[in-house]
A and B are shown apart, each in its own frame.
Chain A
């Protein structure tokens, strides 16, 4: 009985993030529109877009191969599993030990690998430009992310996210320089990985500096829907990660009962809304940078992460 309940809660979390992801995207878009003094579409617009795309037929380029058709499912599956492994409203769920934070970073890498390949598949120059730039950005963002993981793991003594979240709630954490550096590095990586301003512009289609949108240019119909949903899931994943590590308050523990779960969910949604608000504020207040500035931006993130780790290697109290 208890086991069934555990499975149910785990399933609930998977469905919850899938349902919340487009809402988060819509929320950020709405706030951005308001900040620019536009009315903007409804918060629910991403759902409508997804349903419309799902019902449309797919137009495949003549030179597209089987990989092009399989990739969206693979990308979606990898991103969904990765996002489901981040604790959201409760920590220590049934399968939370399946993969630690390093494995979650690597799962994001799997999704990126296939997305970049899909960009090259049709054989157009837009797809190629997107793929090659995405891999360049990732080659700096991934190590920066792993350095952040190192910092956390040295502090908490684990790379398991549930245990990290539990550790962060204990009194011995306090304010630390290394944590501040890790937070900064993670935010910078999150901005780059989610193709947000100033690294990439999620709203453009006709700019030579675009990265993510260039890779998915040839996709249409249900394939595009899956990729868009995947992108929303990735944004949700990074916000959940920030919430789970740096603001783990209000998170229920496994087996805490229905009310605790409901409270946890409300707090989680509030955290997401706040994170989305900050992201929209940041995006409207900054200009996009040239593509070959991105390496300096992410190089700084990598150095911050490395500095945080070094501090902890030197002394556990920093």
Chain B
């Protein structure tokens, strides 16, 4: 019933795109486009929520589009509905933000036509029910987001990011294409219903899983396929960055879940889970270490997305390992943790990117070394960004903690796994997860502290103004959702139950809404419980009581004066700690291993007037060891073959003749 309506709404987004194409230079067009996108996203969000919460059965629809012998299949089930919620919540809030933010866009004709189309593309990926429409929508999503990354293409860094993004997107789609080819088999049953009904032999199934990891992982930012992400996401306008980092990576995760949990079906091998788990753990720690080394606010956030994708894949890997051993109750916990983290990350990463966008509009700066003290001119933006930063650092009582807590609980029930390799791997992954959570807190103390606290480091930061009301309302809607999901996790877990049950052969966590005080009880109540509501309540009570008592009974006088700073306050704000100096201890401890970070201090002799210099040298191991050799090989090969372009006609003919003879010979010998 609702599926045709959903599809026509997605089509309505295309209509908005077409309108923007014609009218993008008109004044007021930006506001119209974003209002329309907001309206459509809110309706889509409402319908998806209704579908998931009412527990409706899945609906299918076939349209005579696309390949003539296949048609375009669409399906709305609980998994698609959950991801529709994530996409359209992010889309609605980014549009709301853009109502204000979009006014500052210098090249609206490069953003407005692609923005609704990008949203429509993501919606269609989720609704597609055959390989052709899935890949078509996937490519459409990639291309529109590429166009948005290239919105400010005059900057050489953006053009390079766009190029790299295009290459990696092509690679990812190629991997997915091959995966679907293997799934469909020689008869070419490309609609998902046929794939689901058929079985794949175990060797092919492992290959499909590897290809799905490559294809979806390259879009989601799984290490070592993440290299394009921290360049491309920040290059787009901030509300698009929020969508790309908060939402599009989730669509990629959807692709992986759809293939690995739904389409592949039964023949699961335990080591698939181990592989995904290991990749997730490495991704989480490397992502956050990269993020800690960044001084560009938006790039820091983009690298941090890599970390969170790692956490999601840890949950998914555990679920695969449990399913392979028929431990469906444990798999339900791991899946719930992963899905919960998907929702959480879309909330707080959108919030943080939008906050970075507000900072960018106010100051024109993304470099944290030139920001600082923004909490004074922009107190509301600072508050919302602080909530997002605390949520992403997994601090109770906010939402990031709940999903990490659930992941930890899933790790803690895994000693029952029979395979020895997994027995060794899982605790190590637990340590990596704990390490990445602790480093994330350091990373966001840096991001918030250097950007918003202290004193302004540049005139641009000193002259900042609070952002507009639309942007602020978008920020606070997200901040409120972060808090709500943190204190009422039981309700979210109940909402996720149909999705988990769909992917997990009917097993799901027990109903949470009838627990006393809305406590979260993942397995049984003697094992572990967490109640965010009570933690918040206790903290609020004890903090307020302390404040009231002290102000009533002791002293409430306050006086302003110069900073104490052990008696030597520095007048110049350049003496403050910078982003680089904040990261220095972590760089010394972890960076010397991972990034081969070296510090060199050049101290001129006394009497010499040259300034002393501190130089830091760091290497990106994945780029230098992985990508640079491949790129160099491609360049060298193409240089070698370059001379083929300038042959005479006789040589071309003899070349063609020679190849023909060779191929015929090969045929003969092979026969």
Interface positions of A (Cβ within 8 A of B): 14, 54-63, 65-67, 69, 73-74, 76-78, 80-81, 84, 95, 97-100, 102-103, 106-107, 109-110, 112-113, 116-117, 120-129, 131-133, 135-136, 138-143, 146-147, 150, 153-154, 157-160, 163, 205-206, 217-218, 220-222, 225-226, 291-292, 295, 302, 305-306, 309-310, 312-314, 316
Contact = CB atoms under 8 A, between A and B. Distances in A.
B546 A73 contact: yes
B441 interface: yes
B442 A139 contact: yes
Contact of B585 (A81, A116, A136): A136
Nearest to A298: B589
Nearest to A295: B589
A121 B394 contact: no
Q: Which 3 A-B pairs have the closest CB atoms?
A: A128-B577, A123-B454, A77-B543
B484 interface: no
A292 B529 CA distance: 38
A285 to B, nearest CB: 27
A113 B555 contact: no
A163 to B, nearest CB: 6
B455 A135 contact: no
A59 B405 contact: no
Interface of B: 372-373, 375-376, 379, 382, 386, 390, 393-396, 401, 405, 408-409, 411-412, 415, 423-424, 426-428, 430-431, 434-435, 437-439, 441-442, 444-446, 448-450, 453-455, 519, 525-531, 534-535, 538-540, 542-544, 546-547, 550, 554-555, 557-566, 569-570, 573, 575-577, 581-586, 588-590
Nearest to B394: A106
A153 to B, nearest CB: 5
A95 B449 contact: no
A160 B454 contact: no
A4 B449 CA distance: 44
B529 A63 contact: no
Contacts of A117: 386, 445, 448-449, 453
A77 B442 contact: no
Given A54-B555, A109-B393, A110-B395, A129 B539 contact: no
A158 B415 contact: no
B559 A57 contact: yes
B559 A73 contact: no
Contacts of B569: 124
B540 A310 contact: no
Main secondary structure of the interface of B (DSSP, over half): helix
B381 to A, nearest CB: 13
A241 B38 CA distance: 51
Name the residue among A59, A76, A220, A316 with the largest chain B CB count within 10 angstroms.
A59
Given A63-B455, A222-B554, 5 more contacts: A113-B395, A123-B373, A135-B585, A150-B430, A218-B563
B441 A113 contact: yes
Contact of B543 (A76, A124, A160, A291): A76
Contacts of B375: 65-67, 121
Nearest to A66: B379
A159 B560 contact: no
15 contacts: A61-B560, A73-B544, A73-B546, A97-B529, A102-B530, A109-B395, A120-B449, A122-B565, A132-B584, A132-B586, A163-B526, A292-B585, A295-B588, A305-B431, A313-B423
Contact of A55 (B442, B446, B555, B585): B555
A41 to B, nearest CB: 22
B564 A217 contact: yes
A100 B528 contact: yes
A150 B437 CA distance: 15
A73 B543 contact: yes
Contact of A107 (B376, B396, B411, B450): B396
A103 B530 contact: yes
Contacts of B581: 128, 132
Name the residue among A127, A143, A147, A310 with the largest chain B CB count within 10 angstroms.
A143
Given A73-B547, A81-B542, A312-B415, A222 B555 contact: yes
Contacts of A103: 396, 401, 405, 530, 535
Main secondary structure of the interface of A (DSSP, over half): helix
A92 B455 CA distance: 48
A222 B408 CA distance: 38
Nearest to A95: B534
B293 to A, nearest CB: 13
Nearest to A142: B438
A121 B452 CA distance: 8
A292 B551 CA distance: 41
A116 B582 CA distance: 11
Name the residue among B373, B529, B590 with the largest chain A CB count within 10 angstroms.
B529
Contacts of B448: 117
Given A128-B577, A163-B526, A60 B589 contact: no
B373 A81 contact: no
B426 A109 contact: no
B415 A121 contact: no
B386 to A, nearest CB: 7
Contacts of B540: 77
Nearest to B583: A132
B563 A123 contact: yes
Given A110-B396, A309-B427, A67 B576 contact: no
Nearest to B555: A55
A306 B454 contact: no
A125 B408 contact: no
B564 A218 contact: yes
Contact of B427 (A106, A132, A159, A313): A313
A154 B412 contact: yes
Contact of B426 (A110, A113, A116, A313): A313
A131 B534 contact: no
Contacts of A54: 550, 554-555
Contact of A136 (B454, B554, B589): B589
A69 B395 CA distance: 20
A306 B433 CA distance: 12
A195 to B, nearest CB: 15
B563 A63 contact: yes
B446 to A, nearest CB: 8
B441 A112 contact: yes
Contacts of B430: 146-147, 150, 309
B526 A160 contact: yes
B561 A67 contact: no
A117 B482 CA distance: 20
A150 B427 contact: yes
B327 to A, nearest CB: 15
A290 to B, nearest CB: 12
A67 B386 contact: yes
A59 to B, nearest CB: 5
A159 B527 contact: yes
Contacts of B415: 154, 312-313, 316
A239 B525 CA distance: 26
A174 B584 CA distance: 44
B453 A76 contact: no
A61 B438 contact: no
Contacts of B585: 132-133, 135-136, 291-292
Contact of A143 (B405, B435, B525, B589): B435
A291 to B, nearest CB: 7
A159 B528 CA distance: 6
A157 B554 contact: no
Given A131-B582, A132-B584, A313 B527 contact: no
A310 B376 CA distance: 49
A223 B581 CA distance: 27
A122 B563 CA distance: 7
A24 B563 CA distance: 32
B442 A136 contact: yes
B373 A63 contact: yes
A280 B550 CA distance: 32
A59 B559 contact: yes
A126 B373 CA distance: 17
Contact of B412 (A129, A150, A302): A150
A99 B521 CA distance: 11
